[in-house]
Amino acid sequence: MENNLDMKDLLRKETSLSSELEEMLNKQSKMEATASNKYLAMASWLEVNGFLHAAEYLYKQAEEEREHFLKLFKYINEVGGVALTPSIDQVKVDYSSIREVFDTALESEITVTKSINKIVAKCRELNDFATEEFMMWYVNEQREEEANARRALELFDLIDVDGESGKFLLDKEIGHIGA
């Protein structure tokens, strides 16, 4: 009997990771890489517009999202899947206000949370306990990410940002989030 398997087929036989979960994890890894680029673009907009502390906060967020991407990417390979290097679409680079930046950040975090929850649900459906345990780190991380994004928006309600001193104080306070 002749063996007509290619390398991907051989790799697939050597993993307990379902092809469906592998695809979901690769999509999540792309989402994390895209989030990194979004935060980078937001940070740049903030910096150019004089919000240096808020910009620094989002530069750190961009780096953290890149770490989330790499963690997923490496996990896929570690368990015998094939991690795909994602191509990232152009992200929004211009915002009308600092408020829009942080509204967008919270919307993005909620989208990521929903995606992670779908992966965890699929893990449970497939009894993939190892991947579920791995993904629980992301569940906990997302709770923190959403709380930080909400805190930034709460500051807009607490600080009168109409005056220059309000914008300065807002910028400074956002820079302290998560510190």
Q: What is the pLDDT of residues 150-172, one digit of tens each?
A: 999 999 989 987 777 888 899 99
- Model pLDDT, residue 1: 42
- Model pLDDT, residue 178: 75
What is the C-alpha to C-alpha distance for residues 128 and 136, in angstroms, rounded to an integer? 12
Closest CA to 105 of 42, 162, 156: 42
What is the C-alpha to C-alpha distance for residues 150 and 152, in angstroms, rounded to an integer? 5
In angstroms, what CA-CA distances link 127 with 16, 89, 122, 140, 144? 10, 33, 8, 20, 27
Given a contact cutoff of 8 angstroms between Cβ atoms, the answer to whether 171 and 51 are in contact is yes
Per-position pLDDT tens, the chain of length 179:
445 545 555 555 577 899 999 999 999 999 999 999 999 999 999 999 999 999 999 999 999 999 999 999 999 999 999 999 999 999 999 999 999 999 999 999 999 999 999 999 999 999 999 999 999 999 999 999 999 999 999 999 899 877 778 888 999 999 999 77
- Model pLDDT, residue 7: 52
Helix, coil or strand: residue 128: coil
What is the C-alpha to C-alpha distance for residues 67 and 59, in angstroms, rounded to an integer? 13
- Model pLDDT, residue 161: 79
Helix axis angle for 52-78 and 98-126, nearest 10°, is 20
Closest CA to 101 of 170, 163, 12: 170
Locate 151 and state its tokens.
Answer: 């805190």
Closest CA to 166 of 92, 137, 157: 157
- Model pLDDT, residue 12: 52
Sign (positive or negative) of CA dihedral 61, 62, 63, 65: positive
Helix (H) or strand (E) holding 60: helix 52-78
Locate 158 and state its tokens.
Answer: 């607490």
Written as one letter, the residue type at 8 is K
- Model pLDDT, residue 113: 97
- Model pLDDT, residue 11: 54
Question: Going by CATH, does the domain composed of 30-82+90-175 fall within 3.30.565.10?
Answer: no
What is the C-alpha to C-alpha distance for residues 37 and 58, in angstroms, rounded to an integer? 10
